[in-house]
A and B are shown apart, each in its own frame.
Chain A
């Protein structure tokens, strides 16, 4: 499956990594929901590290949409919240 890291581009990630990614993503979601700044940063960092570890960049001209999109590494919790609504996105 294709995963996008915002601001960085897309990576091809083996489907077998889905379970692990979902788990890490769950921790990130919990941190955002609880407004837990302390848990947020390490959760995002761990998720990104895993995706980078198992993924490889897609071809430059690949037009396939991503199955999963991860916020940019330096995203604040407020920015992530904005991403979860359609606020702040330019119409595509």
Chain B
């Protein structure tokens, strides 16, 4: 029977086993130092690339959020315009689409926060690793200068185990960030595809925007109506004078009216 060890000890043992295996592969312990240092620098590069990758994904999600926010605002405007035009059905449609956009938006905002968190974690991991790598480099030079291979063993082992634990931790952090960005990239890709295919686009913008088309049509109708009203008003303004001057009340009067007012003004001109 193996006594229970707890999660903490078991995880530690797994990390240690990794370090020991790597140490066993080295013939000259001092060789280990240079080799390990090389690996550390590579890992530092990797974690920095990881930070950049996460940032790229985050920016992409940010762009999508901006686009969807604009779409939402546009649908909101359209709903108001529709109501103003007395078209509640159209307003309802616009608000329904806005709710759909909002759902996507909520999802993207969650993703954005998650990516921001990963970016922050990786940045900190990179700083922690950098500090340890710097310490390791100093230690490595001291060990190489001061001790014989045999004497150096213990000191090397400790430094190596310590740094490899940090590297294992950072390696795991990179993996987690990669997994997360891969998931988000897939989802961001799906949204981009939706936008490209016009499914999201159709809803809110471009030539396929049926709500806007209806509003434009309504707007055009309103324009014609307004013009008609203006013309009618103009005519009814002229009509009373016409009635005063002549008795012509037909629509023909509109064209003859200026002539008749002109003719009544004529006699005063020569004087």
Residues of A within 8 A of B (CB): 3-4, 6-7, 9, 21-22, 25-26, 28-29, 32, 47, 60-72, 80, 83-86, 88-92
Q: Does B136 contact A (CB under 8 A)?
A: yes
Q: Does B74 contact A (CB under 8 A)?
A: no
A25 touches B7 (CB 8 A): yes
Q: Does B14 contact A (CB under 8 A)?
A: yes
A64 touches B17 (CB 8 A): no
B131 touches A84 (CB 8 A): no
Report A77 CB to chain B, min CB distance, Å: 11
A29 touches B7 (CB 8 A): yes
Report B214 CB to chain A, min CB distance, Å: 48
Interface of B: prevailing SS = helix
Given contacts A6-B173, A83-B11, 15 further A-B contacts (CB under 8 A): A7-B173, A26-B6, A60-B132, A63-B132, A64-B162, A66-B165, A83-B14, A84-B10, A84-B11, A88-B175, A89-B15, A89-B18, A90-B172, A91-B22, A92-B168
Q: Does B199 contact A (CB under 8 A)?
A: no
Residue of B nearest to A60 (CB): B131
In the bound assembly, the distance between CA atoms of A89 and B14 in angstroms comes to 9
User: How many contacting A-B pairs (Cβ < 8 A)?
Assistant: 115
Contacts of B167 in A (CB 8 A): 90, 92
Report A53 CB to chain B, min CB distance, Å: 16
Report A5 CB to chain B, min CB distance, Å: 9
Find A65's partner among B5, B139, B165, B172 (CB 8 Å cutoff). Answer: B165
Query: How many B residues are at the interface, by size bracket?
Result: 35 or more
B172 touches A89 (CB 8 A): yes
Residues of B within 8 A of A (CB): 4-12, 14-19, 21-22, 121, 125, 128, 131-132, 134-136, 139, 158-159, 161-165, 167-169, 171-173, 175-176
Report A37 CB to chain B, min CB distance, Å: 15
Report A51 CB to chain B, min CB distance, Å: 9
B165 touches A92 (CB 8 A): yes
- Which 6 pairs between the two chains have the least Cβ-Cβ distance? A92-B164, A90-B171, A61-B135, A60-B131, A25-B6, A63-B162
Contacts of B171 in A (CB 8 A): 89-90, 92
Residue of A nearest to B36 (CB): A92
A-B contact pairs, 17 of them (CB 8 A): A3-B8, A4-B165, A7-B125, A25-B8, A26-B4, A29-B4, A29-B6, A60-B135, A61-B135, A63-B139, A68-B12, A69-B8, A90-B167, A92-B15, A92-B164, A92-B167, A92-B171
